[in-house]
Structure 1
Amino acid sequence: MQNNDWLDTYVLHRRPYRETSYIVDFFSLQSGRVSAVAKGVRNSKNDRKSVLQPFRLLRIQLSGRSELKNLRLADCVGPMLMLTGHALFCAMYLNELINRLLPVGVVSESVYRQYQQALSQLHQNTHIEQTLREFEFALLDEMGMLADWFTDGVTGEPVAPDKWYLYSPEQGFVRCLQANHKHRISGAALMLLGNGQWSGLSLGAAKRINRLALNYLLGDKPLKSRELFRQ
């Protein structure tokens, strides 16, 4: 079955398939995450091979009834963003997060738009830490993992700026009664994050919260892209 609808997409990942093809993982505005076979594109003379690169907005058409589609058409909408160094590693990290955590076929305009904004900011090499945290927040929100910034998840009491809290995937933010707990977060930082205010304090807290939440979702299989930051 053919589908003549165009999808606005980015390539997340591609891998060899048989002798001449690729399986390509796309992230689309209209259909969420979707995978398709790009037949015959591993031939270096095929123009579609150069089109199917990450960090470039594409419009594609797919066909097929199964979860694994066939790529019919692929056109470039904009230029490929030339990312290097740390910014490139960060963009690869975003792609791996989407591919690992966002279920196939789940449409999320908020995550898609945040991803576009993140790529633009990484290309400009500005506010990289904030860019990563904001994208992680968008993805975690889609996954139902963001807690109420202003309320203790156990007692229901308002978060106090002079108290300490821990993040729990099941309960949200709860009072920390253990002095110098390595994962504790100040109530002042939570209130900054809840109000969308970025500072050294809130950036540090956001990184700690997001790492705990993402590790909970990822399980025992670590992200390959994180290894790039350690090299």
Structure 2
Amino acid sequence: MSFGAQQAFVLHSRSYKESSSLVDLLTPQGRLRAVLRGARGKAGSLVRPFIPLELELRGRGELKTVARLEAAGIPNLLSGDALFSGLYLNELLIRLLPGEDAHPALFQHYAATLPLLAAGQPLEPLLRAFEWRLLEELGYGFSLALDVAGTPIEAERLYRLVPDAGMEVVSQLQPGVFHGGDLLAMADTQWSTPGVLAAAKRLMRQALAPHLGGRPLVSRELFRKF
């Protein structure tokens, strides 16, 4: 079976057999895995992250074959912290996005985020926005304006995250809780409010942790190391 031309980005690739590559791809139709034969040729130079691609695939099973691969835009040249951030997004998609599960809006969000990373835009708001979109697309999103009981979040109260459910009010300070004012600022993307970005980072880590299976993210460890 052959598929029509579609947009794609390489999330990860590795050598496969003698002269091929096994490639994890993000497309509007979801995360796909495919074999690129003759990866040492011209097409092999495109099997790198962050390059907008157009490709055609063939095959019926989970492992497809790349029938055509061409550049479809200007490569997003990431370096330093932006590079680690891009690798982090790729690892999240590989770890959390089910194979062949179409998420066209998530694809567009990813495609729009890469040029902003390459342009040196502040990293933290971009990462938090992508994590939030990913959670929503996977069905794990929750409200930052209402608690689990459906009551409006109050700025002066404290809340804790109930995974995959939402924010629950607590009566006293305890490890891992959030101020309602920070949650409301996140809901309005008021990143300039002091402390909000740090709180958002903690919140996203708590929200993602149950779905990562207890295995650390390689990209996060690399970021810490370098």
Which band: TM-score by shorter chain? over 0.9
Q: In 1, Cα distance between the equivalents of 2:97 and 2:114?
A: 18
Q: 2:15 corresponds to which residue?
A: 16
Counterparts of 1:61-210 in structure 2 under 5 Å? 61-153=56-148, 155-179=149-173, 181-199=174-192, 200-210=194-204
Deviations 1:4-23 (CA, angstroms, capped at 9, x unpaired): x0010000000111111111
What TM-score comes out, normalization by structure 2 length?
Answer: 0.95
Q: 2:38 corresponds to which residue?
A: 40
- Secondary structure of the equivalent of 2:13? strand
- Secondary structure of the equivalent of 2:116? helix
- Secondary structure of the equivalent of 2:82? helix
Residue 2 of structure 1 pairs with residue 9 of structure 2 = no
How many residue pairs are counted as aligned between the two chains? 224
Q: In 1, Cα distance between the equivalents of 2:90 and 2:42?
A: 23
- Secondary structure of the equivalent of 2:143? coil
Q: Which residue identity is paired with 2:188?
A: N
Q: In 1, Cα distance between the equivalents of 2:155 and 2:172?
A: 17
Deviation for aligned residue 1:40? 1.8
RMSD: 1.3
Q: In 1, Cα distance between the equivalents of 2:116 and 2:175?
A: 31
- Secondary structure of the equivalent of 1:147? coil
Deviations 1:162-214 (CA, angstroms, capped at 9, x unpaired): 001111114310012232x2311111111112223223332122111100111
Q: Assess if the C-alpha contact under 8 Å between 2:142 and 2:164 holds in 1.
A: no
Deviation for aligned residue 1:109? 2.1
Q: Which residue identity is paired with 1:36?
A: A
Extract unaligned runs of 5+ from structure 1: none
Deviation for aligned residue 1:132? 0.4
- Secondary structure of the equivalent of 1:14? strand
Deviations 1:91-127 (CA, angstroms, capped at 9, x unpaired): 0000010111011111112211221122111101111
Residue 229 of structure 1 pairs with residue 218 of structure 2 = no
Q: In 2, Cα distance between the equivalents of 1:214 and 1:170?
A: 9
Q: In 1, Cα distance between the equivalents of 2:128 and 2:104?
A: 18
Q: Which residue identity is paired with 1:195?
A: D
Q: Which residue identity is paired with 1:87?
A: A
Extract unaligned runs of 5+ from structure 2: none
Q: In 2, Cα distance between the equivalents of 1:175 and 1:218?
A: 26
Do the aligned partners of residues 62 and 207 (structure 1) sit closer, same or farther apart at CA in structure 2, a change above 3 Å counting?
Answer: same
What TM-score comes out, normalization by structure 1 length?
Answer: 0.93
